[in-house]
Amino acid sequence: MTKPLPRKIAVMGAGSWGTTFAKVLADSVADQEIPVQIWARRDDAANEINERHTNSRYLRETKLPANISASSNQREVLEGADLVVLAIPSQSLRRELAVFKKYFEPEAVLLSLMKGLERGTDLRMSEVIAEVTQFPEDRVAVLSGPNLAMEIAREQPTASVVACSDGETAQWIAELCSAPYFRPYTNDDVLGVELGGIVKNIIALAVGMCDGMGMGDNTKSTVITRGLAETTRLVLSLGGRLDTLAGLSGLGDLVATCSSSLSRNNTAGRLLGQGLFLDEVNDRMSQTAEGIKSARAVFDLARAHEVEMPITEAVVMVLEGSLSVENMAARLLSRELKSEGEQN
């Protein structure tokens, strides 16, 4: 049975990716006259979206479609929304959901754009959503892929992955976000899609550090390739699939995030590589670099499952001050020699 079109779509979060994905949705459903409403924390951000159809803090002068509106009132945004897109910092998700859930429609579908593990619990965002809301897994989905917000806002062609345990739900969401410049694929490996999107941020920090220290393409290629290897080890150990890591939410997202100057995590790593302290990096960043927040949780998860992740471990040590950026390469290169195909 085909799911009916949503009466309304709510996007909770007016940062660069939340606003950009709202644009994707609005462009996709424009002919069906489905309203898309963004929840913004600040009144001035909501007013700018409503009056100027821009979100200049994050997307400069990109014009937003006419069927997008915004409000700082959570109830107003969520009431009547059959699809709710969650695009807030991962470490504040549990706290925000405690408020949001009071206004969710009983049969709403929740879509996570967030890429992080919750510190303290090591839960993926879909797991936090399910735990707090008690929504069944067939109404909780995630989206991941090579999704650099500014490029998509400029309507440069890209593809992504919608993952849900229920294929019909994944297909329903994919149809709602299929814009002329945005191609969604579907997948039922939620764990693999989420973890690929989480770990790539940590690898991008490492690649950024290499950039900041002036290292060349050989070094960065090595980090990306071995980063994919350790991500794959973790995903497989937890029950995810190899083909997921070879796809858009694995290799595709990793390459984009590690290679682009638009990547927040690459930028943060580059600043660390240039000698800035972590507090100084955070002060300079207008948005959260999720790899900084999730690195320790990912490493703890890997250690709990006896998965060796040397690049992640080195990044954690740099972030926590027990290893200098300058000594990170020496630590990685001094590891025991082994076959490339060994699992640890």
Residues 183-227: pLDDT tens digits?
999 999 999 999 999 999 999 999 999 999 999 999 999 999 999
The pLDDT assigned to 2 comes to 72
Where helices occur in the chain by DSSP H, the ranges are 16-29, 43-52, 56-59, 74-78, 93-100, 125-133, 149-153, 167-176, 190-212, 217-237, 242-245, 253-259, 264-273, 278-284, 290-304, 310-319, 325-333
Taking the CA of residue 191 as centre, how many other CA atoms within 13 Å lie in the half-sphere pointing to its CB? 13
Q: How far apart are CA 190 and CA 136, in angstroms?
A: 14
The pLDDT assigned to 334 comes to 73
Asked if residue 16 belongs to a known ligand binding site, the reply is yes
Active site residues per annotation: 200
The pLDDT assigned to 344 comes to 60
Cβ neighbour number for residue 182 with a 10 Å cutoff: 23
Asked if residue 200 belongs to a known ligand binding site, the reply is yes
Within its chain, how far is the Cα of 279 from the centroid? 22
Element (H, E) at 341: none
List the one residue out of 210, 202, 222, 191 whose CA is nearest residue 313: 202
Asked if residue 41 belongs to a known ligand binding site, the reply is yes
Q: Which residues of the chain have pLDDT under 50?
A: none
Q: How far apart are CA 120 and CA 36, in angstroms?
A: 34
Please tell me whether the overall predicted TM-score, pTM, comes out greater than 0.95 for this model: no
The pLDDT assigned to 336 comes to 66
Do the beta carbons of residue 193 and residue 162 sit within 8 Å?
no
AA identity, residue 168: E
Asked if residue 42 belongs to a known ligand binding site, the reply is yes
The pLDDT assigned to 328 comes to 87
Q: How far apart are CA 304 and CA 8, in angstroms?
A: 42
Question: Which residues does residue 86 pair with via DSSP β-bridges, in sequence order?
Answer: 12, 112
The pLDDT assigned to 65 comes to 96
Cβ neighbour number for residue 206 with a 10 Å cutoff: 32
Asked if residue 13 belongs to a known ligand binding site, the reply is yes
The pLDDT assigned to 256 comes to 94
Asked if residue 154 belongs to a known ligand binding site, the reply is no
Asked if residue 103 belongs to a known ligand binding site, the reply is no
Asked if residue 145 belongs to a known ligand binding site, the reply is yes
Asked if residue 45 belongs to a known ligand binding site, the reply is no
Q: How far apart are CA 291 and CA 254, in angstroms?
A: 12
Place of tokens 């917000």: 149
3-state secondary structure (DSSP) of residue 86: strand
Q: How far apart are CA 326 and CA 318, in angstroms?
A: 10
